[in-house]
Structures are given as structure tokens and as C-alpha cells.
Structure 1
Amino acid sequence: MPRTGSSVPYQEAARELLRTSVLDAMRELLTERDWSKITLGDVAGRAGVSRQTLYNEFGSRNGLAQAYALRLADDLVAHVDAAVTGNVGDVRAAFRDGIANFFLDAASDPLVQSLVAGEAKLDLLRLITLDAGPLLERATERLSGAFQRSWVAPTAAEADVIAHALVRIALSYIPTPPTAERDAPAELSALLSPYVEAILAARVQR
């Protein structure tokens, strides 16, 4: 019988499962040892796949780290999206909660912990600085779409401004996490919220 609906093609689903399994295996290894002491062979063995499979999918050790970092960017989008959904009409609370939850998750992530602890790891640092283009593009596009679908309902151009600024700022905090003396989520919310509040006010006046 012919298939109906929007089912995911088998090859695409299989690839996504592979990537998830590999990145989960990498996370497990990072809880046991520093990134500098993890090889592609280690990750392949933990994930139960061949090293050639890893090369075919990620290209290199740096490509694997970038894929992991992209998943962190997706976490940022998910946290902000959930906070916007959970704080209808309250822009400041939405930004504050979304950023705070992302900071908490990022601080406990083993790759981030590996980045900020011990000797400098320039390969990881480049992923969120000089080579951050893929992360910025992906997270900005996804977060922009989330804002447009939410009660904020900005235009595509407005949503892009909000998303791009938020993603850039959030990534900058990863290598230098906020200190306990400053309420970074509240400060960033106070900084970013007026732009969105102006969008909402202009809509009411129309």
C-alpha cells in the first residue's frame, strides 16, 4: 500500500539516528575524560560504529565537535522558545527565563566544561568565535522562526534582528560564563526587551 502523510524518508531517519547515537556517545566520553584525550576511534567504539562511518558523516574530529556544538545551539533555541511560550505577554520574563535555562544547561554540558577548564583548547574556542558562522546561521534561523510563530509575531526582518543578537550574546558567554555576582539573564532581558516591546506597542497603535 502507498504511504501517506509526512513520514521521514528511511535514509534521513537512519542518518539522524546515527548522528544522535554518536553525539550521545561523545557526551558520555566527555563525562569521563577531557576533550583533548578523546579520539574519533574512542567515539566510534562507544557508539558502536566504525571509524570510517564517523569520517564519512563528520569528516574530522573538528567536524564532530562542530556537530556537537550545533546541538548546543539547538538547545538555546529550545529554551528560548519554551520560555516565550510559557510567558505570554511578558517579554522580560521570556528572555530572562530562556537565557537563564540555557546558561544552566551550558554550564553542566561536558564539552563546555572541557572548554573552560584546564589548558586552552583553541579548536573548541574557534567553534564559537572565529568559526561560529554555522552555529550563528542555524540558531538564528530557527530562533527567528520560533519568534514569528509565537505571540510576539514580529516580521521576518524584526525576528532576525532579535534572534541574531540573542544568539551572538548567548554564545559569547560560553567561554566566559556569567559570575554569581551578576544576574546576567535579568541584565540581558533588560537590554533586549525594549526592542520587542516597541514592536508590540506599534502593533497596538495600528
Structure 2
Amino acid sequence: MAEVNGGPEDPISSRSRIIAAAVRLTCAHGWSKVTMGRLAAEAGVSRQTVYNAVGSREDLAEAMVLTESAGFVFSIVEGFDAHPDDLLAGIRAALERTLEIAQDNALLRAIVSATHGADTELLPLLTTHAESLLGTVKVVIADRVDRYGLDLEPDRVAAVIDVVVRTALSHVMQPSATPRETADEITWIVSRVLGRTLTSS
């Protein structure tokens, strides 16, 4: 198969398109049905370009997870940055944005469905990178929280962040309320721990 426009293409552009195509195929047909040939056809590139851009099928799985995870990290940063003078409002905004993204994320829904037997090959996508993603999220949050000048020992701050992240993750995996309601509930708990009052809506 010829490359798009019949000539060589920017590797970064090819990689992005291939990963996006892999996400579409996974959501539509399941990870087990994603072959390099099918992926090449979906992305409009040659099989060799697929291998050059993403490597093996395992590398592709990792690239998919990391690409989708970036959206969650950005939502956290945006939430805090929207409320530079109110920590609790920043926490609530970060939580609500993240939960909204999770609610609308087709790949995440496909992975969650795999935990109920829909496509067990998707499970490694969720479990293999869970801890590294959690670590990244905690570092991002710690950096933002540090800007509010909390009068709390660093290990206590880390403990609060850990509880918030893991609680939010449980709601990502199994929602029990709307993103706004969940964000409000978790923020209320944090406010009690920190002895602070939410000052902005």
C-alpha cells in the first residue's frame, strides 16, 4: 500500500494517526481483533509504516494507554490552573474534569468492559501501566498543591493526595454518581481533612 499522497510522511503524524486508528478499532471490535494489517488499512498507511511508527503489537498497546492517559493529566492541570487562589476549588475542578473525560472515553469503557469478560486481552492495557500512571498523576498534583502553600507536613500532603487519587480512580472504574456529584463529595472530604472552606463556586 502506498503512503498517503504517494510519498514519505512525517513519522510523528503517522504515529498519531496509527494510534488513533488503533483506539477506534479497539473500541469498535475489541483489542483481540486489532491486527497490524487491519490497522494499516484503517490508518491509510503500509504495514511497514505501522511497524516503523509503533513497533510491536505490545508497543502499540502501551502507546495507546499513554496517549489516552495524557488527556487525564492535562485535565488535572487545567482544573488546578483555573483556580490558582483556591485549593479546594482547584481540586474539585480537576476531579470533575477528569471524571467527565473518563465518562466519555470510549477506550476506557472498552477496557472496563474487559474486566467483565468482554475482551480479556484488554486487561494488560489497564493493569500493566496502572502504577506508573498513578505515580505520574500524584507528581502532577503534588506540584500544583505545593503552589498553595499548605501548612502541612509533606508526608501528610502525600497521604491526602494518595487517598484522593485512589478514590477518584475507583469512581473512574465504577461510577456511582455524576462527575460533579463525585467531585463535590471528594472535595468535601478533603476540606474536612485540611480544615479549609471552599471559597469559590
Q: Distance in 2 between matches of 1:197 and 1:73?
A: 32
> 1:185 aligned to 180, 183, 186, which one?
183
Q: Distance in 1 between matches of 2:126 and 2:21?
A: 22
Q: Distance in 2 between matches of 1:18 and 1:153?
A: 43
Q: Which residue does the alignment assign to 1:134?
A: 132
8 Å CA contact 2:79, 2:94 repeated in 1: yes
Q: Which residue does the alignment assign to 2:122?
A: 124
Q: Distance in 1 between matches of 2:31 and 2:87?
A: 38
8 Å CA contact 2:102, 2:172 repeated in 1: yes
Q: Number of residue pairs matched? A: 182
Q: Normalization by structure 2: what TM-score? A: 0.67
Q: What RMSD in Å do the two structures reach over aligned CA positions?
A: 3.5
Q: Structure 1 residues 122, 33: CA separation in 2 closer, same or farther (over 3 Å shift)?
A: closer
Q: Distance in 2 between matches of 1:72 and 1:197?
A: 35
Q: Distance in 2 between matches of 1:68 and 1:130?
A: 12
Q: Which residue does the alignment assign to 2:6?
A: none
Equivalent AA in structure 1 for residue 77 of structure 2: D
Secondary structure of 2:127's match? coil
Q: Distance in 1 between matches of 2:138 and 2:11?
A: 24
Q: Distance in 1 between matches of 2:83 and 2:89?
A: 6
Please state how far the C-alpha of 1:25 moved relative to its aligned partner: 1.9
Q: Which residue does the alignment assign to 1:105?
A: 101
Q: Structure 1 residues 39, 145: CA separation in 2 closer, same or farther (over 3 Å shift)?
A: farther
Q: Structure 1 residues 83, 182: CA separation in 2 closer, same or farther (over 3 Å shift)?
A: closer
Is 2:173 aligned against 1:172? no
**Cα distance per residue 1:77-106 (max 9 Å; x no partner):** 211211111123322222222112211111
Q: Which residue does the alignment assign to 1:42?
A: 38
1:1-206 matches, within 5 Å, as: 16-30=12-26, 32-117=28-113, 119-129=117-127, 131-148=129-146, 151-152=147-148, 164-180=162-178, 183-193=181-191
Secondary structure of 1:177's match? coil
Equivalent AA in structure 1 for residue 73 of structure 2: V
Q: Normalization by structure 1: what TM-score? A: 0.66
Q: Which residue does the alignment assign to 1:9?
A: none
Q: Which residue does the alignment assign to 1:201?
A: none
8 Å CA contact 1:74, 1:139 repeated in 2: no
Secondary structure of 1:138's match? helix
Please state how far the C-alpha of 1:127 moved relative to its aligned partner: 3.4
8 Å CA contact 1:30, 1:110 repeated in 2: no
Q: Distance in 2 between matches of 1:181 and 1:105?
A: 9
Q: Distance in 2 between matches of 1:80 and 1:57?
A: 29
**Range with bigger deviation, 18-27 or 57-66:** 57-66
Q: Distance in 2 between matches of 1:93 and 1:127?
A: 32
